[in-house]
Structure 1
Amino acid sequence: MQRWFEEQVSKMVEHIQNIIQKERMRDISLIILVGGFAESPYVQKRIQEALPDKRLIGPGEAGLAVLKGAVMFGHKPDIISFRVIDNTYGIRVCAYYQENLYPLEKKELIMGKWAVRDVFRITVRVNEDVPLVCKVTHKTKPAEKTSDILIYRTKQKNPLYITVQGCELLGKLVMTNDENISFQKQDIKTTFMFGDTELHVMSKNTQTGEIESLTLDLSK
């Protein structure tokens, strides 16, 4: 019978080991097992063998714990006060050139100023604790009639460019700017709204009032 579940249990144990090895998890000494699998003595034995220095607790009705938690969250979302972000999120920007930050070959003359393209402007970093209601706003200036607001994520903590390996394009907002107003006088404010299982992103041209938004699933 145990052989039927060998592969699944091995993958689960490996996943737990990978999580425990993360820097923010190294001080964990107690693991609470929930879910249907948690009631299996075989699963408990395999986890304990893989993590002999950790104390395991299997609460009563472990199989119902996940369901109860989902129901509680549905009725009272603020029962969870913080969420640990599992990626670094941000947008692509054209940044002013800084000699101590960017290599010389990245330097370009853009709209009369020395700048660098494809810079990853960070909103939140991987493994940060984000409050249930969290808003982070970036302000950029348009350079032409339309502005593409590109949203990226990566497992890296401090990505410098959106072109580095591991950066993933999540979505795009297209803003239409007013050509009758100097682009230097227009601001585009892009706000990231965290808090639940989704990431809401809204961009607004503060001069024209135009708003574009999208919603991204953080669980994927």
Structure 2
Amino acid sequence: MSFSGPEVIMKFKNKHTDDYIEIFRDFEIKKRQISPTKQEKVTIRMPASLSTLCIDMRSNDLKSLILQSRFGGKVKVLSDKLKVDADVVKEFFGPTVRNIIDHVATLLKEPSVHGCAAILMVGGFSASPMLQESVQAKFRNLRVIVPDDAGLAVLKGAVIFGHEPTAITERVCKYTYGTGTTHQYNGTCEHPEGKVESDKNGNLRCYNIFSIHARSGQSVKLNEEQPEQIYRPVSDDQTKIGFKIYSSSTAHPHFITEEGCSLIGEFTIPISDTSLGSNHAFGTSFIFGGTEIVVKVEDKATGEVTLESVNFLG
């Protein structure tokens, strides 16, 4: 609705939120009825509050502003309805459909999906004929499946998975997962200034390191343990080691402070015997693939193994 101006739309959103949401709900229904061959005008209800705001802020009602815009011959206002030529509405889908097609094409080049025979389209937008026909045209060598109630497929899948975790035996990590950690500076580290500080014992340490346990794009099987990593307390008198778990949108993050890194949870390893001090080693292995992340901890001094739950609520 560029004919009304971004200032009008922002005020409309803030002042008349119910009407703003109703427009999007109406379009959500209409977008599933628009196909590449559609020629009929698309009708969307326009609340009177928007036209009133246009008069207050632009000294013209919505109908007059449309006539003055480049959409004058293709968009009309009749009472409380906006009638839009099919060609104009189809333009809305262009950038989004192209981005989805490009993203899927990139994913299909990944080694982990070699041999893929079908594309399963789920989510509300998958019900759009515009997207369906574009996917079918681009990936003619693959079978394209659109289930009934595609918009509910993700929700239904989550419910089924919650009741029967073994229904999905393998998944691909969307993000890189790891812990924020530190290690003693050894003179060859290439950490930037500000990441190396003195601890309370006077030793130089490198901080905010992203210790990776699983990378984005990696396949993880149900209850599969990831490679073990060893952690030790920083000081001799520590009675526990606290870990913060981070996710990253990149495959090779170095620091937890990088763009795309987010804190998602935390867990703690209790240390009942402090006699070994900072030499007390603990092996940790993340277990993915279930309904939550579990951390397996092995006390290397005693051989005792425990499963630590992750607090995702903070």
TM-score (norm 2): 0.52
Q: Considering Cα pairs closer than 8 Å and 6+ residues apart, tell me whether 1 or 2 has the greater RCO.
A: 1
Shift of residue 14 of structure 1?
Answer: 6.5
> Which residue does the alignment assign to 1:120?
210
SS in 1 for 2:137: coil
C-alpha separation in 2, matches of 1:160 and 1:37:
35
Note the residue ranges of structure 2 that are not aligned, 5 or more in a row.
1-25, 35-92
Cα pair 2:283 2:300 within 8 Å, conserved:
yes
Q: How does 1:1-220 map to 2 (within 5 A)?
A: 4-6=29-31, 10=93, 13=97, 16-17=100-101, 19-22=103-106, 24-26=107-109, 30-33=118-121, 43-49=128-134, 52-55=137-140, 57=143, 62-63=147-148, 66=153, 77-97=165-185, 102-103=190-191, 105=193, 106-108=195-197, 115-136=205-226, 137-144=228-235, 145=238, 146-178=240-272, 180-203=274-297, 205-207=299-301, 212-214=308-310
Please give the per-residue CA displacement for 1:30-59, whole angstroms capped at 9, x wherever unaligned: 534467876x6xx23443236632237566
**Percent sequence identity over matched residues?**
26
Please give the per-residue CA displacement for 1:108-163, whole angstroms capped at 9, x wherever unaligned: 55557654111111001001111223112322001242322111110111011111
Shift of residue 71 of structure 1?
Answer: 8.3
Note the residue ranges of structure 1 that are not aligned, 5 or more in a row.
none
Larger Rg: 2
- Structure with the largest fraction of strand: 1
How many residues end up aligned between the 2 structures?
Answer: 212
CA-based RMSD: 4.3
One-letter code aligned to 1:92: G
Cα pair 1:205 1:211 within 8 Å, conserved:
no
C-alpha separation in 1, matches of 2:208 and 2:196:
11
